[in-house]
Chains A and B, each alone.
Chain A
Amino acid sequence: MLSGRLVASLVSMAGRVCLSRGSAGAGTVGPVEAAIRAKLEQALSPEVLELRNESGGHAVPPGSETHFRVAVVSSRFEGLSPLQRHRLVHDALSEELAGPVHALAIQARTPAQWRENPQLDTSPPCLGGNKKTRGTP
């Protein structure tokens, strides 16, 4: 369970990571984000799907769609290990992951698990990556 203090530190950390800059400009949804959402909805029929473009917090150009965080709540995950759940998500997004998406943070929960903690986590701050090969996953 997240304590109040932890939530506060997560929120301030999110501010430092500047997640709000991650979207493809002024709150619009870019094509990659739209594709991710559509494919996950088709593959997993989620009860809840929260998707955040976190590219703005990483060493990539503005407007990028390279780093995402997703929370998927689906009864399809019942009885599956975390690894199996993540593989289901990867399978649905194989094209994006072979293409523009460099990072995908996944929270894959059953409906009961989500009700216990209905929150999209925050990713750790970028540590720069390898700027020599910027743009390579």
Chain B
Amino acid sequence: MRASGRRTWQPRAEASPQVVNRGSGVEGSGEQAGMSGSLGRAAAALLRWGRGAGGGGLRGPGVWAARSSSGGCSAEQLDALVKKDKVVVFLKGTPEQPQCGFSNAVVQILRLHGVRDYAAYNVLDDPELRQGIKDYSNWPTIPQVFLNGEFVGGCDILLQMHQNGDLVEELKKLGIRSILLDEKKDQDSK
């Protein structure tokens, strides 16, 4: 079932709550997203706040199995964690089952851009991580987004970057091509 913001999302039972998920990315995003007309319309699709990361509980081959708890959240360990992957997010909940509207917004934005490979850490299952990442970033709230090891901001900033085109550019610098570019190309060629 393709995800749609208007349908009720039925989350799958998860293997473990302490899962580092690979965002399952693209499913269902094509029908909503599109830069045709303006980024405002993509923002409108986003703002229907479709829950979860994709349709039908599909899991791609990049999904990790459950990981053990972070086992300590020193600055050094968190530094290594945020640098291990190009796109790293700290959420309340998981991409498949976000437990916070702001965390879900981050998931939806990444989904709109077709970012499939990202590390997502659920702070609700690890109180040390929850406080540790706030101290590390000197940022008081969750979600938190890191691109290329660098703290970018929370949900508001990511949404702003999505709306003004900066996110497409930042992803490009990481070698990630946003699918919104492909959809725009399709629109332009019609």
Cross-chain contact A123 with B47 (CB below 8 angstroms): no
Choose from A104, A123, A130, A133 the contact partner of B141 (Cβ within 8 Å).
A104
**Which residues from B are CB-within-8-Å of A83?**
151-153, 157
Question: Are B101 and A130 in contact, CB atoms less than 8 angstroms apart?
Answer: no
Closest to A128 in B: B99
A86 to B153 Cα, complex, angstroms: 9
Given contacts A82-B157, A97-B140, A127-B93, is CB(A6)–CB(B101) below 8 Å? no
B51 within 8 Å of A (CB atoms): yes
Which of chain A's residues has its CB closest to B103's CB? A127
Whether, in the assembled complex, A3 has its beta carbon less than 8 Å from a beta carbon of chain B, the answer is yes
Select from chain A the residue with minimum beta-carbon distance to B139. A90
Which residue of chain A lies nearest to B150 when distances are taken between CB atoms in the complex?
A83
Report whether A124 and B102 are in contact in the complex, using a CB–CB cutoff of 8 Å. yes
A22 to B49, CA, bound (A): 20
Query: Which residues in B have their C-beta under 8 angstroms from that of A123?
Result: 101-102
Which of B22-30, B35-43, B112-120 lines the interface with chain A? Answer: B35-43
* 16 A-B pairs in the complex with CB atoms less than 8 angstroms apart: A2-B40, A5-B44, A6-B41, A6-B43, A82-B160, A94-B140, A103-B102, A104-B141, A105-B156, A123-B102, A124-B47, A126-B100, A127-B51, A127-B98, A129-B92, A130-B124
What residues make up the interface of B, taking CB atoms closer than 8 Å to A?
38, 40-41, 43-44, 47-49, 51, 92-93, 98-105, 124, 127, 138-141, 151-157, 160-161
Using A3-B41, A125-B49 as known contacts, list a sample of 8 further A-B pairs with CB atoms less than 8 Å apart, ordered by residue number in A: A86-B156, A86-B157, A90-B139, A97-B140, A98-B140, A106-B156, A123-B102, A127-B98
